[in-house]
Amino acid sequence: MEMNNKLILENRKKIIVEELSKSKIKNKHINIIANYNSISFKKYLAINVLKIETHFRPRVLFIPELVVSFFDIIFYLIGFSGLKNRTIGCFQIGILTSLKWTNSQMTLLNYIVRLVALNSFLFSYRVFIIGFRKFLKTNDIDQYNLIDKFSEFYNGNNFHKKQNIQYSEILKSLLNKTISGKDISEINHVVSELNHRKNIKDGKRKEIMKSIDSKINTRLDKIKLLIDKSEDLSSVLILCDKRTNKIVYYNTYGKKNLYSPIIETRRLVGSTLKIALYSAYLEKYNASIDEVFNDKPIQINSNNKIITPRNADNKFRGNVTLEYAFANSINSVAIQVLMKLGVQNFINYLRKSGIQQPLPYSPLLALGAIKLTGQEILGTLSPVLKEGYLCWPVFDNIKNIPINNGEKIISQQTCEKMKKLLKATTVFGTGRLLNKYNNNHVIGKTGTSECNRDLWFIGTINSNLYGLIWLGMNDEKTMISLDDYSVSASRFSVPLWSDLLEVDFSGLN
């Protein structure tokens, strides 16, 4: 039976390939393809992809595809669904895929512009070439598996359901009918050159990673001399590419455990949650960062207990601006901000930010009394860095992202205000050690959790790289200082981040 099925599929493939070989493409399209290429293989590949796509999706279906895509936009605007990756035009390229290939922002305006543009043959073809180049740069390839990998890259699951024949098999058969020995030699030369460049880039990446690890391990050894029972101390670094939203490097240092903290387990986030709190507050009230609050002792009721939260230095400063309060992580002001915003409104904002685990209905939420992973806390920073759009950073092996990822949740105006607050932190606030680098791109926020169990710095390295550093005991015990100075993120996490600013990151992403 299995042999018969194989024969049936082989015969189907032969029939399809013969049909495709006889099919004609408009001369003007062939001329555009021929004139636009310096490498003839690209021409053959484009022509045969075009034949396959127009064969399985006749031109008559292009208009319904366009109409359906516009309905997607309407549903998105009224909140029924997210933007769909509909395939459009002669080359049947996904709209979201094309934005990704061209490193374009996943905005509604870009989506609409690209939806229209992909119906132009010339534009669609140019995007196809960009995608092909991107494929070559991101894959270890040779002439034997190039078509298999490209078909999967371009066509998703690499399988045509209707005919039960792999896309790559049809494409290979078509290319074999048109490609010459000279072209094969040319392909081999191009592949060899691309792999050579990739080897150079990989070598540079290894040098950068070695430099990162050396600096963090050196600093961590110094920190261990100042912490009691430091044999249980560990640190985690996560670095993300703002353009692609991918996590480009992460590592765990110090004591290793069965599960890596903040990557595979959640930890208390402390004042890093103030990024989300102040974003929600500025968005709701369009408040000024110069708004004045009174930094004074405050009593709150939490679970029928009266609590008087303190500031990290046990001082109260009287009237301070919102900017000053954020930069210096003043807890009394954060609680006032939350009370004015409303606990439920803040919870709603955290839900929009992708935080889905149970949250306490308590004013203590303002102080970060919840546990999150590194991916989740970086997700709360992403709207500030991505013009208001929620863009969770993605691990290659951890795909959990919120269903509303890509949604605009704060305005551009709020983004600019939050960037000023984050910059203030590194100029005159808890991260002021970083100001010595005189780098306008460096912004961030410190976080010290209850009883000094977790120390964070979340922020940027340069105009494209951002991420976080975390420090803590694997068993979540309190970190105790061996000298007269207290344990804090300012004292330990910020210097770790400071060391990273001395690394040459060109070539990592």
Same domain, 171 and 216: no
Same domain, 219 and 152: no
Q: Comparing C-alpha atoms, which of 403, 398, 457 is closest to residue 433?
A: 457
Q: 31, exposed or middle or buried, with CB in 10 Å at 0-12, 13-18, 19+?
A: exposed
pLDDT of 398 over the 70 cut: no
Render pLDDT for 251-291 as a digit per residue (tens, 0 to 9). 999 988 888 899 989 999 999 999 999 999 999 999 999 99
Domain boundary residue, one of 159, 187, 215:
187
pLDDT of 500 over the 80 cut: yes
Same domain, 21 and 133: yes
Over residues 392-405, mean pLDDT: 79
d(CA 464, CA 506): 11
Over residues 196-220, mean pLDDT: 86
Choice among 34-48, 222-236, 344-358, 453-467 with the minimum mean pLDDT: 34-48
User: Given pLDDT bands bounded at 50, 70 and 90, which one contains residue 413?
Assistant: very high
Choice among 136-150, 221-235, 330-344 with the minimum mean pLDDT: 136-150
Instruction: Tally the domains of the chain.
Output: 2
- Give the angle 480-483-488 at the CA atoms, nearest 5°: 50
pLDDT of 399 over the 90 cut: no
**CB neighbour burial string for 202-214, b if at least 16 within 10 angstroms, e if fewer:** eeeeeebbebbee
pLDDT of 218 over the 90 cut: yes
Model pLDDT, residue 22: 75
Same domain, 308 and 270: yes
Model pLDDT, residue 478: 95
Domain boundary residue, one of 157, 187, 217:
187
Residue 458: beta bridge partners?
445, 468
Q: Comparing C-alpha atoms, which of 100, 122, 98 is closest to residue 46?
A: 122
Domain that holds residue 312: 206-500
Residue at 201 is within a domain? no
Model pLDDT, residue 158: 52
Q: 480, exposed or middle or buried, with CB in 10 Å at 0-12, 13-18, 19+?
A: middle
d(CA 474, CA 428): 32
CA dihedral of residues 119, 125, 129, 135 (deg, nearest 10): 50
Over residues 419-428, mean pLDDT: 97
Choice among 123-127, 167-171, 242-246, 419-423 with the minimum mean pLDDT: 167-171
d(CA 113, CA 70): 11
Highest mean predicted confidence (pLDDT) among 61-70, 80-89, 495-504: 495-504
Same domain, 171 and 293: no
pLDDT of 134 over the 90 cut: no
Domain boundary residue, one of 122, 153, 187:
187
In contact, 16 and 163? CB cutoff 8 Å: yes
Over residues 5-21, mean pLDDT: 75
Same domain, 41 and 156: yes
Residue at 193 is within a domain? no
pLDDT of 324 over the 60 cut: yes
Same domain, 296 and 363: yes
Render pLDDT for 138-178 as a digit per residue (tens, 0 to 9). 666 655 577 878 887 887 665 555 556 778 888 888 887 77
**For the chain, what is the mean pLDDT?**
86
Long-range CB contact pairs, 223-230, < 8 A, 24+: 223/471, 223/492, 223/496, 224/254, 225/482, 226/481, 226/482, 226/483, 227/479, 227/480, 227/481, 227/482, 227/487, 228/479, 228/480, 228/481, 228/482, 229/473, 229/477, 229/480
Q: Which residue has the tokens 């691309």?
A: 194
Q: Comparing C-alpha atoms, which of 252, 256, 248, 218 is closest to residue 235?
A: 252
Q: Reduced to 3 states, what is the DSSP secondary structure of residue 214?
A: helix
Residue at 12 is within a domain? yes
Q: Comparing C-alpha atoms, which of 4, 493, 508 is closest to residue 220?
A: 493
Over residues 296-305, mean pLDDT: 81
User: What is the bridge-based pairing of β-strands 371-372 and 444-448?
Assistant: unpaired
Model pLDDT, residue 503: 93
Same domain, 18 and 143: yes
Same domain, 101 and 8: yes
For the chain, what is the largest distance between any 2 Cα atoms, rounded to a whole number of angstroms? Answer: 85
Residue at 103 is within a domain? yes
User: Given pLDDT bands bounded at 50, 70 and 90, which one contains residue 495?
Assistant: very high
Over residues 13-30, mean pLDDT: 78
468 vs 26, more confident? 468
Model pLDDT, residue 42: 80
Residue at 280 is within a domain? yes
Same domain, 136 and 16: yes
Same domain, 168 and 231: no
Cite the DSSP H helix spans in 387-500: 412-428, 489-500
Report the 3 state secondary structure along 164-175.
CECHHHHHHHHH
CATH code of residue 400:
3.40.710.10
Same domain, 260 and 297: yes
4 vs 468, more confident? 468
In contact, 457 and 469? CB cutoff 8 Å: yes
